[in-house]
Amino acid sequence: MANVAVVGAQWGDEGKGKIVDWLSNRADVVVRFQGGHNAGHTLVVGEKVYKLSLLPSGVVQGKLSVIGNGVVVDPWALLDEIGRITAQGVAIGPDLLVLADNACLILPLHRDLDAAREAQAGVAKIGTTGRGIGPAYEDKVGRRAIRVADLADPAALEAKIERLLAHHQALRRGLNIPEADGAELLTALTDIASKILPYARPAWRLLDEVRRSGKRVLFEGAQGALLDVDHGTYPFVTSSNTVAGQAAAGSGLGPRSVGYVLGIVKAYTTRVGGGPFPTELFDADGERLGERGHEFGTVTGRPRRCGWFDAVLARQSKAINGIDGMALTKLDVLDGFETLKVCVGYKVGDRVLDYLPAGMADQAAATPVYETLEGWSESTFGARSWKDLPAAAVKYVRRVEELTGAPVALLSTSPERDDTILMRDPFEG
């Protein structure tokens, strides 16, 4: 039996929340390994809708859930989310939720810096969520971050704040932001420490015990591979590694423990914020995809840009993540289209490429080379069996498999947890 890492294979918003929630039934532990509360997962369970940002999706199933060291954590946002989900009937305590004691914190000054930079960037802004994730990761690699464990040591915390502010005050002066109040920050962190520390543990040690006992671990990624700080459409990316390789580093388990990599892809393509998007549609088809797919960001509420399925990018994601199988989501959104298009290459000047180039100019200039497929008029909404799908829908799924080189292990036909067709159980390897 394998552990499973779930990663987005596009620009995020692929429906990872539902898939992770569905797989949680088969797992013993669920681990978030990167990102922050800029990521949003929506779970639909019966009549209830859960919107998660920091909490691993396993909490809704009552599975032991771990926020790993690769995540940057806003402690106030975390407590707010715990309170909100508890109010929906899911009791969350230290017996259910573990927070890595070596995870770095997002502070109010990070949010200030994020907002000020975007405001001053003008047309060059990259479309961050403004929640301080990027600046928090900067402080992490700059070795000046405040970590969860620091909350237990008030004397050391004061010294660390002083070191942190030595860097931030200069930035704030340059951006015309009032200097941060160190005493106020120390008081705020001291006040919240007693509420956060009960969840704090050496997560790597817990996960090593889980591994040695033979239990199943589900690694939950945030955002998508095309937002990876190394492999995404730089600089229109997030500030962390979103690919499957980060599951090991961001949780404290060795790479051999990651196991099966499940890449989540929509049956079409969406993106929130700025950056290149070769298959983006600006016509009635694009509007129809957005309306039928309810394409609004879980965290930001911003409308998502919509376009046809991009097999080139999905194939590229397969390579950089080591994807073993795909979960294809929102197939039902394509119901009723007479014809469908799939991108099979890019034209850049006089060249035709089978990958997305790294250069910004080439990315912006890339225009899709399409293959046209037959659509279907029948409904796939809520289908739970392969035989319930129209023949043209089956052909579409098979063509996606051929073009990406990855088999479809799971097929999702609605936001509901049980409207899922299992072709291959990822936990069986």
Catalytic residues, which ones?
Answer: 13, 41
C-alpha–C-alpha distance, residues 71 and 4, integer Å: 18
Q: How far is CA 32 from the centre of its chain?
A: 9
Residues of the chain by 3-state class (helix, strand, coil), percent to 5: 40, 20, 40
Count of CB atoms situated within 10 Å of the CB of 85 = 18
C-alpha–C-alpha distance, residues 426 and 429, integer Å: 5
For 340, the enclosing helix (H) or strand (E) is: strand 339-348
Which residues are 52's β-sheet partners?
Answer: 41
DSSP state at residue 88? T
Is-contact 84 53, C-beta < 8 A? Answer: no
Which residues are 329's β-sheet partners?
Answer: 266
Residue of 400, 142, 98, 421 whose CA lies nearest to 269: 400
Residue of 19, 53, 61 whose CA lies nearest to 408: 19
Rounded to 10 degrees, what is the CA torsion of 366, 369, 372, 376? -20
At 42, list the tokens. Answer: 């929506």
Residue 44's Cβ-count burial label (10 Å; 0-12, 13-18, 19+) is middle
DSSP 238-283: -SS--STTHHHHTTT--GGG--EEEEEEESSEEE-SSS--TTB--S
218 three-class SS: strand
Contacts of residue 246, defined as CB under 8 A and 6 or more positions apart, other chains included, come to 33, 34, 70, 221, 240
Is-contact 340 396, C-beta < 8 A? Answer: yes
Is-contact 356 237, C-beta < 8 A? Answer: no
DSSP 150-193: GGG-HHHHHHHHHHHHHHHHHHHHHTT-PPP-HHHHHHHHHHHH
At 202, list the tokens. Answer: 């050496």
